[in-house]
Amino acid sequence: MKKDPLKDIETIRKKFAKAKHPLLFFDADTDGTSSYLQLRRAFPNLKGFPLSKDYKHQQRLALQISSEHDLIGFFDTPDICDELFEAARDKVVVWLDHHVGNSKDWIKKLGILHFNPLNYDLRDHRPTTYWSYLIADMKENLPLVTMGSIADFFLLSVIKELFEYDEKSFRALLRIPAKKRKELFTFLDLHDFADEHVKREREDWIRYLTYDCGLIKYKMFFDMIYKLGDDEAVLSFLESIKEPFLPHFKKELEKNSSSLMVAYREMLGEFETIMKTTLSEEKDLIIAEQRGSNCSYARQVAEELGYRLKHWKVVVAVFQKKDAEWMNISFRGNHFNVLELAQGAASGLSRASGGGHPYACGYKIHQSEYPLFRERLVRSMEEKTKE
């Protein structure tokens, strides 16, 4: 077990500051994107690409690594294809992630500067956006780290820091009444981010801030915008928004008339249509299956069902693209360890992989093994309900 994460964060900061042509690959969600935007502000010469879990997409992105790049970063990306690692050979490589299962073989082969908070404290899996905030070391990034951490299911003291530093951006991000805000800040002052005794209360606060206080508008954008397939246009749009970030971004979400934003609003409409057809009756295990569409909303459907339905333990959203052999599966747990459930269902299956957190995880599985996987989920839930 390592001892001092802040010392290693300082080392990473110096690596980025020294690099002339750094390139960052980051997860295509709120945590990953907010990490990139923070680092981009601190290191203006940084370029980046969102990295999906699709290995074919990753293999194409490996071609973006050229001889001029002197630092390659992988942030919030637990699963990376061999081609990307090979393309990064003989360069400085920084891999920062907070999930379990990072490849020790490649870390050793390439001499990767690897940072995972779990290597310092087994309780600590705070999101990549938080560690990026420490690397960038800029108070201006507080709106981004607050947004990214809540969106990734973490309740951190940066929320209070944002209010104290930039109340305008705080109010743009979270529409929370003064009384509730004071209750939240008291909770943050009294409890450590990993205090197991208040786990249920912490989860309830995250749900409240996300859905009742308006964070879902931003989270939905960052989690879905890359589905349009034009990564460079998305990044150009984000980087063009002037300060202060959140008030301007809020206006852009509501009024921007570019083709990108028009397409995004159309995508939101399709998502709402899917939600209307997948809302199920209340029960412990809810499985929503979406097949034949070109765009997956598995993660978003899982989260929305988890919010709109009050009496449930596990939501499983399944997506299979038209004519595809593989299925993407997103899990959400209501005070229930879905990572353990998914790992049990996938045990022994040769064409299933995934990971995540105890209350939110994702899996990819071949259609030939899905029936058994699903059967195991149902059986396991029945057994746990009887306990």
Q: Residues 152, 41: one domain? A: yes
Q: How many structural domains compose the chain?
A: 2
Both tokens of 254, joined, read 């509501």
Residue 261 counted as domain residue: no
Residue 90 counted as domain residue: yes
Final residue belonging to a domain, choices 218, 249, 264: 218
Residue 89 counted as domain residue: yes
Residue 151 counted as domain residue: yes
Per-residue pLDDT, 267: 83
Residue with tokens 């009742």: 212
Q: Residues 60, 195: one domain? A: yes
Indicate the pLDDT class of residue 23, thresholds 50, 70 and 90: very high
Task: Dihedral sign for Cα 186, 190, 195, 201, please.
Answer: negative
Q: How much is the mean pLDDT over the chain? A: 89
Cβ atoms 150, 217 nearer than 8 A: no
Per-residue pLDDT, 335: 83
pTM of the shown model:
0.81
**Which stretch of 32-46, 275-289, 337-351 has the lowest confidence by average pLDDT?**
275-289
Indicate the pLDDT class of residue 160, thresholds 50, 70 and 90: very high
In angstroms, the Cα distances linking 187 to 192, 195, 203, 216, 241 are 9, 11, 12, 22, 33
Q: Residues 214, 296: one domain? A: no
Residue 251 counted as domain residue: no
Give the mean model confidence (pLDDT) for residues 292-306. Answer: 79
Per-residue pLDDT, 244: 47
Q: Residues 181, 288: one domain? A: no
d(CA 332, CA 350) in angstroms, rounded, equals 23
Q: Residues 169, 287: one domain? A: no
Give the mean model confidence (pLDDT) for residues 51-76. Answer: 93
**Which stretch of 158-162, 228-232, 336-340, 344-348 has the lowest confidence by average pLDDT?**
228-232
Specify the amino acid at residue 320.
Q
Q: Which domain holds residue 72?
A: 5-218
d(CA 25, CA 75) in angstroms, rounded, equals 6
Indicate the pLDDT class of residue 282, thresholds 50, 70 and 90: low
Q: Residues 201, 290: one domain? A: no
Residue 259 counted as domain residue: no
Residue 267 counted as domain residue: no
Q: Residues 100, 192: one domain? A: yes
Q: Please, which residues bridge with residue 243 across strands? A: none
Higher pLDDT, 295 or 314: 314
Q: 243-260: per-residue pLDDT in tens?
A: 545 666 767 676 777 788
d(CA 369, CA 287) in angstroms, rounded, equals 16
Q: What is the dihedral of CA 122, 30, 246, 180, to 10 degrees?
A: -50
Indicate the pLDDT class of residue 366, thresholds 50, 70 and 90: very high
Final residue belonging to a domain, choices 198, 218, 238: 218
Residue 246 counted as domain residue: no
* CATH code for the domain in which residue 375 is found: 3.10.310.40
Per-residue pLDDT, 242: 53
Question: Is pLDDT above 60 for 199?
Answer: yes
Q: Residues 180, 296: one domain? A: no
* CATH code for the domain in which residue 15 is found: 3.90.1640.30
Q: Residues 186, 291: one domain? A: no
Q: Residues 208, 307: one domain? A: no
Q: Residues 206, 290: one domain? A: no
Q: Residues 192, 312: one domain? A: no
Indicate the pLDDT class of residue 296, thresholds 50, 70 and 90: confident
Final residue belonging to a domain, choices 166, 183, 218: 218
